[in-house]
Amino acid sequence: MKKQSLTKPDAIIAIVSNDSKFAASVKSDLGAWGFSSIVAHDDAQLTDVMNQQAPTCVVLDVSQPDGLSDSAADRVVDMRLLDRLRSGWKTTPVVAVSSDPSISLAVSLVKHGAFDVVAKSCATKQISRLVDGLAKQQQADHRAMKHHEAHCKSRGMGNYEILGKSQAVMDVLDLVEQVAQSDATVLILGESGTGKELLARAIHHNSLRADKTFVPVNVAALPPNIAESILFGYEKGAYTGADTASKGWCETANGGTLLLDEIGEMDIMLQAKLLRFLQDGTFMRVGANQQQKADVRVIAATNREPKEMVQSHLLREDLYYRLNVFPIRMPPLRERREDIPILANTFLERSAELHRRQVVGFSEGAMECLVQYDWPGNIRQLENLVTRMVLLTRDAFIGISHVPAEIKSTRAGTHVQPEPELSHMKNVERQAIVAALEKSDGNAVAAAKLLGLGQATIYRKIKRFQIELNQIKADSRIS
């Protein structure tokens, strides 16, 4: 009877083995799960399969010839094929199979990019379960990515790093679509770290000015005594040290877009000159006696409430109304929690590649902590934290132990458990692993063989279920 599988009928598995009997057995068992599979006996055949069929997963037999000991196998197994798979087809997971995998061999294979390592003696059923789970996850990720790309493409967004699938993000993208190709002044509101500059860039790149200059200016960083010179430029001799004339940012952005971030930090006298520039595009360099004109689309941004700044006389009321032609509010991360896994996994992938770390994902408990947290620093805080965790962990997955204590707090201020509450099936699985470990006196490798699990898998599950392996070993010595 064919197993129930949610995978697409076109999912293809590549089996790489020079053991014809083993390859046929795996192919048959995968067929019972609804998978098509192709057998490759050498590197050349595998390359053809990878290039022509784009398999969902690769089952790689790294078994050594009979008569070689574990230590010899560790020394002679050639990792070059696995390295080539990971470099050439990095998104395709590889399940490695060995006739008698030692711990050091399993560690080496995982370090070289294998998703899991299983023993050949119990491989066919275990491989089928692994492959089915991998295929489902891969296709779910593929659907999510296609949905996001299709949505962005339909709005001309392209890849401008505005990641997310929440309704809050979709609403923002709708507004971008409406305003991008006009020359209307846009006021972007939002807390620090929400991605206001990314939004401004998206508006620019989807406007008729996309081939012109985008100039971002952090108004809060402008020295008050030379802010006007930086913004509007200056003539030669305008002040001591002005040996040559210089363009300002408004002139540099001619034909393009000027982003004035933290607009409320601008000196109140300079705001009057900016107002004139917004009204008719005219300005005067410092030290000049003649007006100039520039065609610039202005986008302003602030992390403060504009009306409160007007009431506090930090922002001119007439400037506020001139800027507030088309306001867009970037939602804080706590209002788009469903986007946190997308953002966190994207930051993890970038950071792992940049810092050359073999970190591939988050445990369920760690991700639950990230989703529960309120993120006062928003996306910037999340990105910085993920980078820190990638640098600190030595495991393939970021677990709950790697998450700082303050991040483990829920919105209500209570602390989450070390892992989210387990379902009935997860409890059964945990109990089975504990029983196997107790029967094996805390030997994880022996327990894995009893359960038909790969060594890398059982160590992940021990960590996932917070099983105290040292305690089990201690109890076995006492008894």
The pLDDT score that the predictor gives to residue 89 is 74
Predicted local distance difference test score (pLDDT) of residue 347:
93
36-78, pLDDT tens digit by residue? 888 888 777 888 878 776 787 888 888 765 544 444 444 344 5
pLDDT at residue 148, as a whole number: 53
- Which residue, among 54, 49, 59, has the nearest Cα to 116 in the 3D structure? 59
Which residues are paired to 39 by β-bridges?
A: 15
Structure tokens at 171: 């609403």
Q: In the structure, what pLDDT confidence band is assigned to residue 117 with cuts at 50, 70 and 90?
A: confident
Q: In the structure, what pLDDT confidence band is assigned to residue 155 with cuts at 50, 70 and 90?
A: very low
Residues in the chain, total: 479
pLDDT score for 7: 40
Does 194 score more than 90 pLDDT? yes
The predicted-structure confidence for 263-292, as pLDDT tens digits, reads as follows: 999 999 999 999 999 999 999 999 888 999
pLDDT 10s digits, 422-435: 444 456 667 778 88
H or E element in which residue 381 lies: helix 378-392
The whole-number average pLDDT for the span 401-413 is 72
How many angstroms from the chain centroid is the CA of residue 6?
25
CA atoms within 13 A on the CB side of 62: 33
Question: Using the 8-state DSSP alphabet, how is residue 15 labeled?
Answer: E
Give residue 274's pLDDT: 94
Contact in structure between 97 and 61 (CB atoms under 8 Å): yes
Q: Residues 34-47, buried b or exposed e (16+ Cβ, 10 A)?
A: bbebbbbeeeeebb
Give the residue with greater pLDDT, 8 vs 79: 79
pLDDT in tens, 318-365: 999 999 999 999 999 999 999 999 999 999 989 998 888 888 888 888
Would you say residue 104 has pLDDT above 70?
Answer: no
pLDDT at 226: 86
- Which candidate, 269, 227, 223, places its Cα nearest to that of 248? 227
Q: What integer pLDDT is reported at residue 250 of this predicted model?
A: 93
Going by pLDDT thresholds of 50, 70 and 90, the confidence category of residue 140 is low
Mean per-residue pLDDT for 192-213? Answer: 93
What pLDDT shows up at residue 141?
Answer: 59
Look at residue 414 in the predicted model and tell me its pLDDT: 40
Of 298 and 133, more confident: 298
- Residue with more model confidence, 378 or 451: 378
* C-alpha to C-alpha distance for 397 and 360, rounded to whole angstroms: 6
Query: What is the average pLDDT across 364-384?
Result: 92
Higher pLDDT, 224 or 452: 224
What's this model's pTM, rounded to 2 decimal places? Answer: 0.57
Residues 445-470 pLDDT 10s: 888 777 767 666 777 778 777 788 77
DSSP string, 197-216: HHHHHHHHHTSTTTTS-EEE
Look at 13-17, 314-318, 320-324 and tell me which has the smallest mean pLDDT: 13-17
